[in-house]
Each structure stands twice: as structure tokens, then as C-alpha cells.
Amino acid sequence: MPVAKTTKNSRPPRSFPPSLAGTCLRYAVMEVLGFGRLIDEESQLAMHAGSALHKTFQEELMRGRAMCRVEVAVKDETWGVSGRMDALLETGKGALVVEYKTVASQRFDAIAADGPLFSHWAQLQLYIAVGQLAGGVLVVDERPQGRRIIFSADPDPSWTVWLKARISQVKQHQSMRKLPEREISSACLTCDRWRRCFADPDVRDREVVAHPQWEPRPVAPDTRRFHLASDIVS
């Protein structure tokens, strides 16, 4: 019996990774289409340090908590999303997702002053929406290990609507294999795919100075309704 060959075009389209919920649309489309990234040495070191802290945090979380699972798979055909939650806690209020992030000191100061990073919050809200969870917790540690800040989140319908619209846009561009317009902002200065968007660093820097503010379409939920928490479950 002849065996059908698997061709590149017969592969199922890549699912949307939750970590990209709050990124530039063009970046997210590049990811699902498999575009490469240019990761510098500093970022690589930060990623290694973050992974080690991540493991330590999960061990800390598991200690003494019977109703805790780590690296919980999330796959939802309707949303077209696939990923892994850092942890899922069963509590008296219901199931809570726990998302863990590490950031350098300067960014930590900004988070302590202004609240969670948009990308972190979007990822947390996506897990809550897809998993229909009672809420979520975002734990941010300063790298190298130092200060910690904990935010807790409730389900938020305005985020659900926004996330659905953004993922739908990613899927549309993915099926057409077409990159969307750039969403220029100061994030372009540290983007590891910037070469797909600007001819050279001077052009990039000039364009970012002219347009430093990110303006996603549709407009992002304008408030981050978070609560500060003193412990992961409080």
C-alpha cells in the first residue's frame, strides 16, 4: 500500500503560544510562521538565569501544597491556543493559575511603581479565560534573585474580548502567510526580530523616537485591574 508523504504544507498550523498574548501582532505572526530570532548573548544569559529561578520557584510552590500541579498543559481547539501554565493551584475559591516571571532590577522598579507588564498580564488573563479559571496570580522576582512582587487577577471579560480579537488576527495572517503591519513602539529597540521590520538600527531608532507608544488594534483594555498580594494564596 502506498504511504502518503508528509509535506511541509500538510503540517497542521502552529497553535498560538500564550506567552505572545501581549506582544506586537507582527511578532506573534512571525512566531507561528516559524521565523528565526536573533538572540544576543546578554538575553541568552538572562534566559538561563530565569529558567533556573523558575525551577526553584516551582519547587518552593510544591512544598507543602498537596493541591498544586506544575507545568500544566493548556490546549484549546476553539481558541487555537497551546502552552503550559507554570502552576495550577486548587483553592477554596476554585482553580488559580500561577505565572512566574523574572526581570532585571530596572524593570522590577517600573513594575513596582506602575503595575504588571502588559505582556505578563495578557498571558495570565489568557490562561484564566481559556481555562475558565477562578483567577490567577502573577509572581515577579527581581533577577538576580532579590525582591518579589505578587499580583492577583480576577477573570476579566474585557481582556477575554481583546485576546480573542488579537488571536483571531494572528490566525488570519498565519493562514495567508502574510505579515501584518508593524506596531512600532519602544519594544522594537529590544525586539529579537527587528531586522524583519527596519532596514538598519538608525532607521529603527529614528522611527521609535517618532512613535514610542505601542498602539495595538483593537485598542488594549485600558485598565489593569490587579490586586497586590502578600502571598500566592491570600
Residues that bind ligand SF4 (CB under 6 A): 24, 26-27, 182-184, 187-188, 191, 193-194, 197
The CA-atom distances, in angstroms, between 104 and each of 85, 153, 214 are 22, 23, 21
Tell me whether residue 7 or residue 190 sits nearer to ligand SF4 (CB atom).
190
* Residues whose CB is less than 8 angstroms from the CB of residue 95 and which lie 6 or more positions away in sequence, other chains included: 88, 89, 131, 133, 134
Tell me whether residue 27 or residue 127 sits nearer to ligand SF4 (CB atom).
27
Q: How far is the CB of 41 from ligand SF4 (least distance, A)?
A: 19
Tell me whether residue 58 or residue 169 sits nearer to ligand SF4 (CB atom).
169
- The rounded distance, in Å, linking the Cα atoms of 139 and 150 is 5
4: how many CB neighbours lie within 10 A of its CB?
Answer: 7
Q: How far is the CB of 141 from ligand SF4 (least distance, A)?
A: 25
Q: How far is the CB of 198 from ligand SF4 (least distance, A)?
A: 7
Q: How far is the CB of 24 from ligand SF4 (least distance, A)?
A: 3
Tell me whether residue 65 or residue 195 sits nearer to ligand SF4 (CB atom).
195
Among residues 161, 180, 145, the alpha carbon closest in space to that of 28 is found at 180
Which residue's entry shows cell 548573548? 41
